[in-house]
Amino acid sequence: MKRLFTVALTAMLILVLAACGGNESEGKSSNGDGSESGEEKVIRAGIGLNDKHPQYKGLLKFKEIVEEKTDGSIKVETFHSGQLGDDRTMIENLQINSQQVVIPSTAPMANFVPEFSVFDIPFLFPSEDVADQVLDGETGQKILDKLEGQDLKGLAYWENGFRDLTNSERAVSSVEDFKGLKIRTMENDLHLDAFKALGANPTPMAFTELFTAMQQGTVDGQENPYATIYLQKFYEVQDHVSNTHHIYSPFVFLMSKTFFDNLSEENQKIVKEAAEEAGEYERKLNREANEKYLKKLQEEGMEFTEITDEAREEMKKKVQPVVDEYKSKIGEDIVDEVYKAVEEASK
């Protein structure tokens, strides 16, 4: 008898709890991230650079704006130095919504949306100002829109910057000096083919593996903006730096489309505007940083070699056949549109 009473009481308790739970969830819809609307949501945001880089300071600014404007209903957890994986892994994390934000260079993104390679055409952007106008304008937005087919939402362009060559073998002042250098490139076929055209022996590699590869001599050199070269302490394993300025590299502030689509309209506006405002802040920090870091690289013992305008023109000639080949691979229309936008912005 007692056992029967216990079973009946337990059954009643389970029914009461289920009824309460049912009412609670009825008014809420899943946000695709396991949380319920109206509850606190968490954005896991990861980058590959370390916490000294302007990109991480920009991410902290994004966190500050979003948490303030949503009164803490959206929390941003930040991860740096590849804690959540390399760029390609983190982009794939967004596609399954196990991570909600990553801010990679455009180069690895070409593996998801080929049109992003247009921004890796050597010598495309003549200045940061022209890059800002093109990226933040209609053409830049058109390319961001292509991400939606990959379960990705592009919210803003940030700045990696003009890329410069370092190596541990020799001073590089002209095309001849590239011959045979084992150069790490980002995982992007255009970068690979451009360095082959310059006479180098390029290897595509994730950023997370780069320092060790230079330390062990697997590669002789790499190319990145001064801020990255200095803040990631590449001067510890590299002897020479040249101002090749061969590509202006944008970052793209990416969000999981599933997560974004499950936000209220108000919160979608908040995260987009926060990505844009934090991007302006990051661009400013990055430009101030790049100016001062070449001097610091020399103070750390790196030998700087000036690339003259004539030598740069020689580099442009060498890579032109690659640019022509990729115009059809990327899509003639979008390449022509970007070049036209660059011309307009340069006036």
Of residues 55 and 133, the one with the C-beta less far from ligand KDG: 55
Of residues 270 and 278, the one with the C-beta less far from ligand KDG: 278
Tell the smallest beta-carbon distance from residue 330 to ligand KDG (Å).
19
The structure tokens 């000096």 sit at 177
Of residues 186 and 271, the one with the C-beta less far from ligand KDG: 186
Alpha carbon distance, N-terminus to C-terminus of the chain: 92
Tell the smallest beta-carbon distance from residue 228 to ligand KDG (Å).
6
The structure tokens 């009946």 sit at 8
Tell the smallest beta-carbon distance from residue 328 to ligand KDG (Å).
26
Tell the smallest beta-carbon distance from residue 104 to ligand KDG (Å).
4
Structure token pair of residue 5: 């009473």
With contact defined as beta carbons under 8 Å apart, do 105 and 187 qualify?
no
Tell the smallest beta-carbon distance from residue 173 to ligand KDG (Å).
23
Tell the smallest beta-carbon distance from residue 87 to ligand KDG (Å).
5
DSSP state of 250: E
Question: What is the rounded distance in angstroms from the CA atom of residue 175 to the CA atom of residue 341?
Answer: 29
Query: Which backbone phi and psi does 238 adopt, to 5 degrees?
Result: -135, 140
Tell the smallest beta-carbon distance from residue 225 to ligand KDG (Å).
7
Angle value at C-alpha 134, between 245 and 126, nearest 5 degrees: 25
Question: What is the rounded distance in angstroms from the CA atom of residue 93 to the CA atom of residue 232?
Answer: 24
* Identity of the residue numbered 7: V
Of residues 31 and 187, the one with the C-beta less far from ligand KDG: 187
Q: Identify the CA nearest to 315 among candidates 203, 106, 182, 164.
A: 164
Q: Determine how many CB atoms are found less than 10 A away from the CB of residue 231.
A: 20
Structure token pair of residue 229: 């070269």
Of residues 117 and 249, the one with the C-beta less far from ligand KDG: 249
> Residues with Cβ < 8 Å from 140, sequence gap 6 or more?
134, 157
DSSP state of 30: B
Q: Between helices 189-197 and 309-330, what is the axis angle to 10°?
A: 140
Of residues 186 and 190, the one with the C-beta less far from ligand KDG: 186
User: What is the binding site for ligand KDG (CB under 6 A)?
Assistant: 47-49, 87, 104-105, 160, 186, 207, 224, 228, 249
Of residues 107 and 335, the one with the C-beta less far from ligand KDG: 107
Tell the smallest beta-carbon distance from residue 132 to ligand KDG (Å).
18
**Closest CB to ligand KDG belongs to which residue?**
48
Of residues 140 and 250, the one with the C-beta less far from ligand KDG: 250
